[in-house]
């Protein structure tokens, strides 16, 4: 089976590359010359030499607070136009049997909730979540038109060695001694190991559908931070009570939206947000390792 992977140098893409079965031929597409296909999907339609049985579209622009309109539009260029250009490239002469699109739970546009299912409305209005909604729609319409199995994986926080983004910043903060939990770190968040996504991704691609993927346990900040501290050889992570954090958030509101802490950020940190993955467990046997058991920081 021939597989084309976009985003191969990304955090998830590296795991898909590592765990891809030896019996499959996996080629990759990206912006550097190290890939089999070199292309900036946000700007051009790639020229593919071969047909592929499965396409895994993991490339995309992830969480970032845009500071201007140009940065806002970058989400749409990469996530929407990039997806459209890729779909145009694989229409002929033979579309793939299966198309797997890596999406995000950010499409739900929620800051709190418990065990949210795939049937929940897509309410995101931020550039990241909204661009992913549009990309999902493109993929579903294209797959229906070309009779291709369509699989959309909506991911929460993806966990693994040397992670980027907020988790990477959390690890650095704990190791440097400037990370604090707020209000006991009681809020639970869905997360999932990158290696589990990679191990199950082809099974998901065989059946099609839209799935939330989580570890099924949904650790809270206290549990996750203590695990990181233990692996880093650090003492117990300190805690800031809610009231002082609330005062700091109000000051942050006055300072502007790019302040380290404001009311919106505080509400996110202290609110539980989890997603239901039972649909994936039934459809293709999703049975991941709990993050607190499998997570190694490096």
Q: Please give the full DSSP string across 75-132, using - where no structure is assigned.
A: HHIIIIIHHHHHHHHTSSS---SEEEEEEEGGGG--SSEEEE-TTS-----SHHHHHH
Tokens 């059946």, located at residue = 207
At 139 the pLDDT is 98
Strand stretches in 203-268, DSSP E: 209-212, 239-240
Q: Cis check for the bond before 260: say yes or no (omega within 30 of 0).
A: no
Distance CA 141, CA 197 (A): 24
What is the separation of C-alpha 63 from the centre of its chain, rounded to a whole number of angstroms?
9
Structure tokens belonging to residue 35 = 């890939």
CA distances from 263 to 36, 131, 246, 270 (A): 46, 25, 7, 10
What pTM value is reported for the model? Answer: 0.95
Give the integer Cα–Cα distance in Å for 57 and 5: 6
Q: Which two tokens stand for residue 116?
A: 């949210």
Indicate the angle between helix axes 127-146 and 69-76, nearest 10 degrees: 20
Structural domains in the chain, CATH included, are 2-163+188-216+273-294 (3.40.50.720)
> Is the Cβ–Cβ distance between 157 and 189 less than 8 Å?
yes
Running along the chain, 298 residues long, what does each successive block of 10 average in pLDDT?
92 85 79 89 94 95 83 94 97 92 98 97 96 98 98 97 92 94 96 96 96 98 97 92 96 85 92 98 98 96
């Amino acid at each position: 089976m021939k597989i084309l992977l976009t985003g191969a140098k990304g955090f998830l893409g590296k795991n898909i590359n590592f765990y891809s079965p030896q019996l499959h031929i996996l080629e990759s597409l990206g912006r550097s010359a190290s890939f089999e296909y070199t292309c900036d999907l946000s700007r051009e339609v790639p020229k593919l030499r071969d047909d592929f049985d499965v396409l895994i579209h993991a490339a995309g622009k992830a969480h970032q607070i845009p500071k201007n309109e140009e940065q806002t539009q970058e989400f749409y260029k990469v996530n929407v136009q990039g997806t459209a250009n890729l779909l145009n490239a694989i229409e002929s002469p033979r579309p793939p049997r299966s198309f797997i699109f890596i999406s995000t739970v950010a499409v739900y546009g929620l800051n709190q909730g418990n065990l949210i299912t795939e049937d929940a409305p897509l309410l995101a209005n931020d550039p990241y979540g909204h661009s992913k909604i549009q990309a999902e729609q493109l993929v579903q319409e294209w797959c229906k038109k070309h009779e291709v199995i369509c699989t959309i994986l909506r991911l929460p926080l993806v966990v693994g060695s040397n992670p980027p983004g907020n988790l990477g910043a959390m690890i650095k903060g704990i190791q440097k001694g400037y990370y604090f939990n707020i209000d006991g770190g009681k809020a639970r968040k869905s997360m999932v190991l990158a290696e589990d996504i990679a191990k199950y991704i082809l099974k998901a691609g065989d059946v099609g559908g839209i799935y939330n993927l989580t570890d099924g346990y949904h650790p809270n900040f206290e549990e996750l931070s203590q695990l990181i501290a233990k692996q880093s050889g650090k003492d117990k992570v300190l805690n800031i009570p809610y009231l002082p954090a609330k005062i700091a958030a109000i000051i942050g509101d006055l300072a502007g939206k790019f302040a380290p802490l404001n009311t919106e950020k505080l509400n996110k940190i202290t609110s539980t947000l989890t997603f239901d993955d039972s649909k994936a467990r039934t459809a293709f046997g999703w049975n991941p390792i709990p993050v607190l058991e499998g997570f190694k920081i490096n």
